[in-house]
Amino acid sequence: MKGKVYIVGVGPGDPDLITLKAVKVIQQADVILYDRLINESLLNFSKHGDKIYVGKGIGEAWKQDKINDTLVKEAEAGKIVVRMKGGDPTVFGRGEEECLHVSRHGIPCEIIPGVSSAIAVPEVAGIPITSRLVGASGFAVVSGTRVSGELDPDFIPKKGTVVILMGIHDIEKVEKALLMKRKRDEKVAIIENGTLPCQRVIKGQLKDLTKLVKENKVRSPAVLVVGEVIDLSFTLK
C-alpha cells in the first residue's frame, strides 16, 4: 500500500510561526525531507520520523530530480512523507513541482500552506507591505533568481510595494531591473535573517541597493522591500 506525501510550509524562520496543521502532520511523519532554510528546532515535533537533509543551497549536492525521486521512493514503501519547506511551499518553493511529480506516480499529495517570508519578514521588521496611508494599495512578490536568466522588469510594477526574494547573490542584476521601473530615490529595505533574533534591517535608497548589500556584507536569506511603506516603519519594544 502506498503512503502519502505532504508538502509542508513551516514559516519564515521563527519556529513560533508554524501552523498547527503543519505541526500535526510533522508529528505523523515516517520520513522528513528538509533543507537549509528550515529552523531545525521544528524537527523536534517528530519523535520517530527519519530526517533527511536535502540541502538546496546554491551549489549543494541535492538536485530537484533527486528530491522528487526520494519522495516517490519513500511513499511507495508505504510511508507518510513530509517535505518541509521554509515560508509557503508554492511561493518560489517548488512545492507544486514536487506535488505534481508524486501525483503522477499515483501517490496522494497534499500541500499545507505556510506563512510566507514575503509578508512576514517585512511585518516583523516593522514594515507593512500595503497601507492606505501612503497609497500602497497593492504589492508584488518577485523572485530574484530565475532559471532562464536575469530578473524580468515586466514583473515589477511601477506603483505599490515590491518584495524580492532570493535576490542577494545577484544583487547587481536585481538593482538594474528595479531601476527600469522604479525611481532612483525610492526607499529600500534589506532584511537579513528575518523573524529571527539575529535579524538585521538596512535602509537606504534604491540607487544604492548594491552598495548597501556589499558594504554591509548581507548574506542569504534576505528579503528586499521597495516602496513608500518603508516610511511607515515602526519598531516594537
Distance of CA 25 to the CA centre of its chain: 20
- Cα separation of 199 and 191, whole Å? 7
Using CA atoms of 204, 208, 214, 218 in order, give the dihedral in degrees to the nearest 10: 30
pLDDT value at residue 237: 40
The C-alpha cell at 182 is: 522604479
pLDDT value at residue 174: 93
Using CA atoms of 214, 223, 166, 217 in order, give the dihedral in degrees to the nearest 10: 20
- What Å distances lie between residue 101 and 1, 79, 92, CA to CA? 18, 17, 16
- Give the DSSP per-residue string, 137-182: --EEEEES-BTTBSPPGGGS-SSSEEEEES-GGGHHHHHHHHHTTS
pLDDT value at residue 61: 65
- What Å distances lie between residue 222 and 13, 69, 125, 236, CA to CA? 11, 30, 12, 20
Report the catalytic residues.
35, 56, 166
pLDDT tens for the chain, 237 residues long, are 789 999 999 999 999 999 999 999 999 999 999 998 899 999 999 989 899 999 865 555 688 999 999 999 999 999 999 999 999 999 999 999 999 999 999 999 999 999 999 999 999 999 999 999 998 999 999 998 765 556 778 889 999 999 999 999 899 999 999 999 999 999 999 999 999 999 999 999 999 999 999 999 999 999 999 999 999 987 644
Contact 72, 102 (CB under 8 A): yes
For residue 137, the tally of other CB atoms under 10 A from its CB is 11
Among 218, 209, 224, 217, which Cα is nearest to 172's? 209
**Does a cis peptide bond (omega within 30 degrees of 0) precede residue 89?**
no
